[in-house]
Chains A and B, each alone.
Chain A
């Protein structure tokens, strides 16, 4: 599988020490739009033990492979470092599992931060083994001192840059970008208090990949074998057990799922003191978030590319993007702004906060050109069009792919294709390359 080499350059390792009698968590940064080692925050962070456990959990997801394909050994890979976004009034720490099926985000809310951020932006943070051990030793509900990055112009201590190159599979990068888009179609479905949250998570099976449904009943929440209007899909329920260490701090648990009940991603949001942790699970354990194809039509649309360029120029790391205000500023209808945001989401340039039901600005610290270019189905569709493989005749089009001709038929209920990919996935993972090619050809 193709991989992109990500270079991490930290001026020093992240560390935990003591400052003025408080634990002193110093997170080293690497990468970002403007500064190679940005300095986002300097101040106190409330609820020390809870935040330490939450940060450990974010780091743990990054180095966990929840699914190992048959015949493949679980390779010990250098995991990608977590990503932190400073939105001014809050910090968001994100990571993505090595199997591309679990995304976690810790939102540190304004109440926990002893002041505003020094700067906005997105960067990687170093999480090394000694720091993890030190984090595990932080206790109590008092504050700790947190710095995300440091001001290198005033740093007197000597430092030496450590550089590490980590190959990140394209599939992983693409999934990390697209997972945010999945949240934009979800609504809150289940909500429960801390006691029920603890009981439910602790009762989840420890193994198994089957799709089950968390269902609200008169006596609490249970896993059922079939869907109901009050259920949320949970494929590989053991993956949700990543929340277990945080249950003792939880004040509630909320689950989000698409408005139409079906096998789909779901978001589980654990409320903490002045923080939230959101875990997004892929619809199948063996299926990562890459390849969902939900944004392919937007990406194929030349107009949305221009809109996205315009919209992105107006973004300024807002914690919640006001679509109407943005539409007004951009002079575009809100619908086109939303499509542009979807496109930006696929490129890792905005995230989606299900709790706020809105996008927030963050630029994944990976090469945006690489992220945008990683849509092989779209590339294949363009190649088919360029090769003149599409022959349209009214509602029926023939697409020659290799030695075989597939038929794309447009009906009142949608567009369907005779290829095996469409046979397997139907409309659940975006259009197949033949449908995309027909649509591209129709646009000329």
Chain B
């Protein structure tokens, strides 16, 4: 038979499930030469048949030239239980020399789909030894998935398949308990079946591995004692927590009896010292139920008390109590163990521990002072203009890689405008080549998009060194919209809209483009280069620049004016200075809704309105920066800026240099980013928050609002930077203002209270008095909150450590005076009360 005739015949048989026996019989007598000749034809057919035929695996096994080919081609074909014996027959008839190498090939790279049923069947028939690689056990998890049709499982359940697969309950199933990472796959599989379903795809907990194992255990097919021991064994295998969750669930579902726990008491005691919290919790639960109580746990409980979880620590103390109750002679030893809990972060735990230890000794241990090291420069230093074109070129080389230092950006802008007609002695070609790469990167980091400073600077470098045309510049924000195409179908497109177009991000790119246009026509003398690294220009310096420069770039002029300290503006003979002198914002907090570029409406956006300010425009930088007349409609747009970019923090890093002397105005501009930070990881708010902390002028409620939002951000780094800013500001941020913002934002359910409180406690390590003042002023706002006890506890701890008394709100005074044992009442009783309070107690 010709090669292609053979292939055609084989293909016909493979396509018909009823004729697979016939296929096996046809393959048996073939020589290796015949198989080799027909394989290219069959492989081509297989590769054109994505879903595979009932006999695809048989064809691959019958014709492929080696184990790698089998694995590569059969990677996605399923092998059901009925076809597996036929696959064994094909290989037995063929008896290929590479059979011993087949398991490794099928199991590499996560395993081919037919790996488990095929290898299991081969091993059962004695064709190969049962593979001992962990990948084999893992392949079982996917190899026994139920067959699916139209997204729903059909045919046998997992229990049926386990019952019907010979030998699996004696061997392979138990390997799951010793195979690392099996737990996370088991959890993923089970979660997919047990998650809340829908009418179309209902939840099917009966298809989970946990259900199957419990069912088989109830039937006696899996020995219960062995199952319990194997489950407990996983907890001491030094696996990651994520690999143990499924086994913890299985253990709880097995619900060991008291007798079973008693028989394994040493194992449960040993689990108390394991690093995974869920395992420790499991051991504590079982040991707590044990009657009589075991004394063997005594020393291990010290480990539990050193853990940060409140629940575990309280459970451990309760167990200690029971041990002492049953064995009074162990009271001294138990007290020693309980003393570990005196350092616990939770006040309830500390208080509970004192019932065993007596009053704690005052803490004395603090970090040793650090040795003297090179100091960090915090005082503003002079900004030195670039000296020549060579230095400017080196500066651009750096900025094209990292433009996060605003001082370098400013030096480059000033330098390139001044040295527009100068060329570097060497290195131009390299910079131009690299600048082209940076400037032409794909959206969203491309030049003049408003989201990439590096790309803007690269385009500027090309204007300087390559004579490139700066083009029209900022395009506005990209709006997605859909429209009816000629085909009648809906299609999506992107349209750029410059509305609103005077956010700080837009102003930065507009400003760089203004410099680029100037460079293309010969350059200019900029006014705005700060004299010091705090972004300031003394009035006298600016006056001199104004007098010596023949013409000014409009946006640059505005930037320069904003950099003059407000108290010196009278010394600048300029109409723009007069406008800034008249600036007197009246801030008003608003919460509302706004629409983003995709048309989605977002609610609960906090913004600050200055109704005294006039609507701005992109051509008038001062008006644009001062404009907070109606910020809410654009807030969702500003929050969205840069979300697809890779370095928007390099954009926001320059914002404080646009508004260096008006922290509340800067904070008002930051609010959209901070609103974003409450739920998203990337907000790029950090450079601005840090700048707010460096403010040397008093700050008002807008800045306090920004700090509170930052301290409640989703990203711990944002929270840390906001906390740093609060610490840096110290008393410049009035505690009452901060407390007022906390109260409002908590009541409006804008911020997560626990995050905020953690940040405040973090700040208390540096400035406990400031934080105590803030917390005390906040207390009226937390009355009635479920987490009020935590806030009061924080007050109690700080007041106690500072030796101060506190006047509590009436509701908390009542709680302290009553007999309730709630967490709040206990916390209130821990607060050192002032004279007016203590009189009533």
Q: A and B: partners?
A: yes
**Contact residues of B between 363 and 412, Cβ < 8 Å to A:** 363, 365-376, 390, 393-394, 397-402
A422 to B233 alpha-carbon distance, docked (Å): 53
A202 at the interface (CB under 8 A from B): yes
**Best-surrounded residue of B274, B375, B399, B724 (most CB of chain A within 10 A):** B724
Q: How far is the CB of B409 from chain A (nearest CB, A)?
A: 14
> Contacts A212-B717, A230-B370, A404-B433 hold; do A133 and B765 have CB atoms under 8 A apart?
no
> Contacts A196-B367, A227-B376 hold; do A208 and B430 have CB atoms under 8 A apart?
no
A441 at the interface (CB under 8 A from B): no
**Contact residues of A between 211 and 246, Cβ < 8 Å to B:** 212, 216-231, 244-245
| In the complex, chain A residues whose CB is within 8 Å of the CB of B308 | 202-203
When each residue 201-212 of chain A gets 1 if its CB lies under 8 Å from chain B and 0 otherwise, what string results?
011010110101
**Best-surrounded residue of B233, B427, B724 (most CB of chain A within 10 A):** B427
Q: How far is the CB of A433 from chain B (nearest CB, A)?
A: 14
CB-based contact A223/B373 at 8 Å = no
> Contacts A212-B720, A225-B690, A396-B425 hold; do A220 and B366 have CB atoms under 8 A apart?
yes
CB-based contact A193/B765 at 8 Å = no
CB-based contact B370/A407 at 8 Å = no
| In the complex, chain A residues whose CB is within 8 Å of the CB of B370 | 189-190, 216, 229-231
Stretch from A26-34, A148-156, A412-420 that touches the partner: A412-420
Q: Which residue of B lies closest to A49 (CB)?
A: B273
| In the complex, chain B residues whose CB is within 8 Å of the CB of A409 | 390, 394
When each residue 715-728 of chain B gets 1 if its CB lies under 8 Å from chain A and 0 otherwise, what string results?
11100110110000
Stretch from A89-97, A135-143, A357-365, A379-387 that touches the partner: A135-143
A132 at the interface (CB under 8 A from B): yes
B19 at the interface (CB under 8 A from A): no
| In the complex, chain A residues whose CB is within 8 Å of the CB of B429 | 404-405
A59 to B653 alpha-carbon distance, docked (Å): 42
A105 at the interface (CB under 8 A from B): no
| In the complex, chain B residues whose CB is within 8 Å of the CB of A193 | 365
B306 at the interface (CB under 8 A from A): yes
When each residue 266-278 of chain B gets 1 if its CB lies under 8 Å from chain A and 0 otherwise, what string results?
0000100111000
A-B contact count (CB 8 A): 167
B768 at the interface (CB under 8 A from A): yes
B541 at the interface (CB under 8 A from A): no
CB-based contact A189/B765 at 8 Å = no
CB-based contact B716/A205 at 8 Å = yes
> Contacts A133-B237, A218-B766 hold; do A423 and B366 have CB atoms under 8 A apart?
no
CB-based contact A261/B373 at 8 Å = yes
A135 to B429 alpha-carbon distance, docked (Å): 61
CB-based contact A139/B273 at 8 Å = yes
Q: Which residue of B lies closest to A420 (CB)?
A: B434
A408 to B274 alpha-carbon distance, docked (Å): 56
> Contacts A190-B367, A419-B430 hold; do A219 and B238 have CB atoms under 8 A apart?
no
> Contacts A190-B370, A406-B427, A426-B398 hold; do A226 and B270 have CB atoms under 8 A apart?
no
Q: How far is the CB of B603 from chain A (nearest CB, A)?
A: 28
A188 to B236 alpha-carbon distance, docked (Å): 36
A405 to B399 alpha-carbon distance, docked (Å): 19
A60 at the interface (CB under 8 A from B): yes
> Contacts A208-B715, A222-B762, A424-B402 hold; do A230 and B369 have CB atoms under 8 A apart?
yes
A129 to B236 alpha-carbon distance, docked (Å): 11
> Contacts A56-B238, A136-B238, A229-B376 hold; do A406 and B766 have CB atoms under 8 A apart?
no
A276 at the interface (CB under 8 A from B): no
When each residue 751-769 of chain B gets 1 if its CB lies under 8 Å from chain A and 0 otherwise, what string results?
0000000000010111010
CB-based contact B233/A133 at 8 Å = yes
A260 at the interface (CB under 8 A from B): yes
| In the complex, chain A residues whose CB is within 8 Å of the CB of B400 | 420, 423
A247 at the interface (CB under 8 A from B): yes
B181 at the interface (CB under 8 A from A): yes
B343 at the interface (CB under 8 A from A): yes
> Which of B236, B427, B720 is A224 in contact with, Cβ under 8 Å?
B720
A161 at the interface (CB under 8 A from B): no
Q: How many residues of B contact A (CB 8 A)?
A: 63
CB-based contact A76/B181 at 8 Å = yes
> Contacts A192-B367, A196-B367, A205-B716 hold; do A129 and B765 have CB atoms under 8 A apart?
no
**Contact residues of A between 396 and 439, Cβ < 8 Å to B:** 396, 398, 404-407, 409, 416, 418-420, 422-424, 426
Q: How far is the CB of A128 from chain B (nearest CB, A)?
A: 11
B178 at the interface (CB under 8 A from A): yes
CB-based contact B178/A195 at 8 Å = no
Q: Which residue of B lies closest to A192 (CB)?
A: B367
| In the complex, chain A residues whose CB is within 8 Å of the CB of B238 | 56, 59-60, 132-133, 135-136
| In the complex, chain A residues whose CB is within 8 Å of the CB of B180 | 129
When each residue 168-204 of chain A gets 1 if its CB lies under 8 Å from chain B and 0 otherwise, what string results?
0000000000000000000111111101101100110
CB-based contact A136/B306 at 8 Å = no
A303 at the interface (CB under 8 A from B): no
Q: How far is the CB of B139 from chain A (nearest CB, A)?
A: 13
A102 to B724 alpha-carbon distance, docked (Å): 27
CB-based contact A198/B306 at 8 Å = yes
> Which of A245, A259, A407, A426 is B427 in contact with, Cβ under 8 Å?
A407
| In the complex, chain B residues whose CB is within 8 Å of the CB of A422 | 397
Q: Which residue of A lies closest to B274 (CB)?
A: A136
A187 to B686 alpha-carbon distance, docked (Å): 30
> Contacts A212-B717, A418-B393 hold; do A132 and B237 have CB atoms under 8 A apart?
yes
> Contacts A136-B236, A219-B766, A404-B430 hold; do A224 and B716 have CB atoms under 8 A apart?
no
A248 at the interface (CB under 8 A from B): yes
A261 to B378 alpha-carbon distance, docked (Å): 13
| In the complex, chain A residues whose CB is within 8 Å of the CB of B717 | 208, 210, 212, 225
When each residue 113-135 of chain A gets 1 if its CB lies under 8 Å from chain B and 0 otherwise, what string results?
00000000000000001001101
> Contacts A129-B178, A139-B270, A404-B433 hold; do A229 and B343 have CB atoms under 8 A apart?
no
A441 to B308 alpha-carbon distance, docked (Å): 59
B118 at the interface (CB under 8 A from A): no
B345 at the interface (CB under 8 A from A): yes
> Which of A221, A227, A260, A396 is B367 in contact with, Cβ under 8 Å?
A221
A218 to B801 alpha-carbon distance, docked (Å): 12
> Contacts A210-B717, A212-B720, A248-B302 hold; do A423 and B376 have CB atoms under 8 A apart?
no
CB-based contact A133/B365 at 8 Å = no
Q: How far is the CB of A340 from chain B (nearest CB, A)?
A: 27
Q: How far is the CB of B374 from chain A (nearest CB, A)?
A: 5
Q: How far is the CB of B769 from chain A (nearest CB, A)?
A: 11
> Which of A135, A199, A229, A396 is B426 in contact with, Cβ under 8 Å?
A396
A244 to B237 alpha-carbon distance, docked (Å): 17
CB-based contact A137/B716 at 8 Å = no
| In the complex, chain B residues whose CB is within 8 Å of the CB of A212 | 717, 720
| In the complex, chain A residues whose CB is within 8 Å of the CB of B303 | 248
Q: Which residue of B lies closest to A397 (CB)?
A: B426
Q: How far is the CB of B738 from chain A (nearest CB, A)?
A: 18
A202 to B716 alpha-carbon distance, docked (Å): 15
Q: How far is the CB of B436 from chain A (nearest CB, A)?
A: 12
Q: Which residue of A lies closest to B402 (CB)?
A: A424
> Which of A59, A191, A222, A225 is B765 in contact with, Cβ under 8 Å?
A222
> Which of A132, A221, A247 is B306 in contact with, Cβ under 8 Å?
A247
| In the complex, chain B residues whose CB is within 8 Å of the CB of A187 | 371, 373
> Which of A195, A247, A260, A407 is B374 in contact with, Cβ under 8 Å?
A260
CB-based contact A220/B430 at 8 Å = no
Q: How far is the CB of B493 from chain A (nearest CB, A)?
A: 27
Q: 19 interchain pairs (CB within 8 A)?
A: A136-B237, A189-B370, A192-B365, A196-B367, A208-B715, A208-B716, A216-B367, A216-B369, A218-B765, A219-B366, A226-B376, A229-B373, A230-B370, A404-B430, A406-B430, A418-B394, A420-B397, A423-B402, A426-B398
Q: Which 9 A-B pairs have the closest CB atoms?
A: A230-B370, A219-B765, A424-B401, A225-B721, A418-B427, A407-B427, A423-B397, A210-B717, A423-B401
Given A133-B236, A219-B768, A222-B762, 12 more pairs with CB closer than 8 A: A193-B365, A198-B343, A203-B308, A218-B366, A225-B690, A229-B370, A230-B369, A407-B427, A418-B426, A419-B397, A422-B397, A426-B398
